[in-house]
Amino acid sequence: MGRLTGKVAIITGGAGGIGAATGRLFCEEGCRIALVDVTAETLSDVAREIRSAVPDAEILEIPADVGDESAARPIVERTLDAFGQVDILVNIAGIRSYELLADAKAETWQKILGVNLLSYAYLAKEALPALRKAEKGSIVNVSSTHAVNPRAGMGQYDVTKAGILSLTKTLAFEEVEHGVRVNAVCPGLTLTPFHVKRANAAGRTEQDLRTEKVDHNIQKRWADAREVAYPILWLASDEASFVTASTLMVDGGTRV
């Protein structure tokens, strides 16, 4: 018996580093998953890798732009059609913007708010009837340490991550009577394909990132995406039955 045996989860941002690691770990723990991401090809690659590592994995691939409100209902409906239930929603989808707030464009605000914050609200709204029916429903929202430690030059991103924490607490307060728990995870410096690609463009390798000493946190290293997936797994599982409206820092002791 895995820790999520008999449960079904929707995971957005499923083709990204943390999303892919979470999808694989959930499958290892007996969960059936709907993996959602905007790029169908990358999503299929991730699903293929998970199936190779976990031969009995049950994965529904759903290519969708979660920043579009109209995508939320079909995602939930397709999951229910395939698996008959939804017990867990993990919101991970996110995009970045590198604009000073003084130069931030309206279209950039609209796009980043849509994906990084509003998609969490859209998916939660559509999934709540099924999560309530599950009686032990769980939502895990992935934010960032920069929700509480914002930076110059990425204000739009950091604002959305702060909004996720507020959304998480409010939703937890509203849904407690329905048996749905809502929590957030704030990852710190995490080694994902996004960062590897940026490093490659600068002439550095993934191994360089894995072995370098960083000042970002007191452990002086990058996290592997699986190290973030484990806390998500715990919050999603019944092991965390007395945990709601909480924010878990998964950051190696990030320096403020």
* Residues tagged active-site: 157
N residues, the chain? 256
From residue 98, how far is each of 55, 59, 191, 251 by CA, in Å? 40, 34, 19, 22
Q: Residue 223 forms beta bridges with which residues?
A: 190
